[in-house]
Structure 1
């Protein structure tokens, strides 16, 4: 299913300012009323011009107000966030359903947000890189380790380390012949940005994986693969973002594996034999 305007606005909201934030706030606060408004009616209700509305819908990823409006109509009325509002009174089944619904919504939104050319560029860079460095601190180190674990099954030269200081040391050795995958849910983690800046200084191609495509990390990156997600009202971390980011890694691994064909299969078989031998 195509990503709704509600989902795109929520994922970008933190980075909106001025009239864009005013429009976004009105839309998110009036999800039912907004569906039936024309562009003129919406502009009048908010107190802006129709041209301002048109620019806004294009900035959040739609070609026209009609396309944007249709995405709102087709979005379920009850969907207020990817996980819904989890209350203390929710029973076990309700909580589980909301968590799984959140993960599915994050995956649907993410696959519809990333442009085909971004996948192509990222894949080609990785295939032709001398070295691929994978960077992530804190919660993002989980995704970085998953990426390392998967890409080790390819013939590509992969480097990853969980320690921040070691990651900084890695950046010193990387050049314009290399590619870095830098992961951060918020795109504003101080340590992650420090790593990204040092990579950029060395002219390393940066593939950013972040839930905020207008974040500082995205600005430093050469290509951004955005993982769309929202926070749940009782948690400080977004599990749906983690699910979406791992799906992005799985997609890159598969795209690379298919293009390398027999070379990847050879590495996979050798890896499997080595692991099986260690268990005898």
Structure 2
């Protein structure tokens, strides 16, 4: 494995002016950067967070977190202070709020750079022309697909959320290229999800994945992969946090772009949805008052 500091030094002459500013800091103070957020580095060297994320992807093909991990591998053990846990024993509320805000800010900045505009538009087009849009997510990603189900339902998309895998597979068997399925997954490595994607592909159902990267088995099967970038979570995470923020940010961009491309019709449907809920609450109030 190539020493990442050597790689940065070797590519230095090919870097842009802003990238050289980032490289200069890393080469001069590698032990400092491994404990910094994107925002910290941005303020320290007076450059944009977007430039830092792009530089990180250029050097590591992933993101800022991977850059820090790559640097830490080549530092003496006594200079490393990377904490593989998300909090310390008896950590204060003030510190938790500050750290979480920094982590979420880094995550949003990274996702904003990683999300491809053309991929968003292509996926919106596929969703618009689909007879049925299926949604699926495991574990914490189930929160995201449930949110997306509620949003799509309000703008007239024929969307289905089936979490029982056998039922989903038997339902997909009667669908084809006129339909699509959206998998939300941070890593894209679940064997059961891969099996479902293979069945969908065999039936020519369009496959869309929303994931941290496109270098995973599920992304290789998919017709479209929407990438939000690697987050700072690792195998010792205590809960899905920044990955959930990244996924929610991504599906919100997808949802609002779909509305922007189908503006008047979407607004009409949202209005109808609101009127239906208001009418439901009126009937409910009437029934309750009679009792």
TM-score after normalising by structure 1: 0.72
8 Å contact 1:227–1:241 — kept in the other structure?
A: no
Q: Which residue of 2 aligns with 1:224?
A: 225
When the two chains are superposed, the root-mean-square deviation of aligned CA atoms in Å is: 2.9
Please list every run of 5 or more consecutive structure 1 residues that lacks an aligned counterpart in the other structure: 1-21, 28-33, 42-49, 51-63
Q: What is the rounded CA distance, in whole Å, between the counterparts of 2:117 and 2:24 in structure 1?
A: 25
8 Å contact 1:134–1:180 — kept in the other structure?
A: yes
Q: Which residue of 2 aligns with 1:274?
A: 276
Q: What is the rounded CA distance, in whole Å, between the counterparts of 1:243 and 1:139 in structure 2?
A: 11
Q: Which residue of 1 aligns with 2:10?
A: 39
Q: Which residue of 2 aligns with 1:107?
A: 108
Q: Which residue of 1 aligns with 2:136?
A: 135
8 Å contact 2:140–2:240 — kept in the other structure?
A: no
Aligned in 2, Cα 1:87/1:168: closer, same or farther, shift over 3 Å? Answer: same
Q: CA offsets per residue over residues 46-101 of structure 1, 9 Å max, x none?
A: xxxx9xxxxxxxxxxxxx6558665556899332659x843225322112211122
Offset of residue 238 of structure 1? 3.1
8 Å contact 1:131–1:179 — kept in the other structure?
A: yes
2:223 is aligned with 1:252: no
Between Structure 1 and Structure 2, how many residues are aligned? 229
Offset of residue 235 of structure 1? 2.2
8 Å contact 1:152–1:158 — kept in the other structure?
A: yes
Q: CA offsets per residue over residues 1-54 of structure 1, 9 Å max, x none?
A: xxxxxxxxxxxxxxxxxxxxx23xx43xxxxxx39952179xxxxxxxx9xxxx
2:149 is aligned with 1:148: yes
8 Å contact 1:131–1:157 — kept in the other structure?
A: yes
Q: What is the rounded CA distance, in whole Å, between the counterparts of 1:182 and 1:103 in structure 2?
A: 23
Aligned ranges 1:84-99 → 2 under 5 Å: 85=83, 86-88=87-89, 90-99=91-100
Instruction: Name which one, 1 or 2, has greater alpha-carbon Rg.
Output: 2
Q: Which residue of 2 aligns with 1:160?
A: 161
* Segments of 4+ moved more than 4 angstroms: 64-76
Residue 225 of structure 2 aligns to a residue whose secondary structure is: strand
Q: CA offsets per residue over residues 194-228 of structure 1, 9 Å max, x none?
A: 11111111112211011232011111111111132
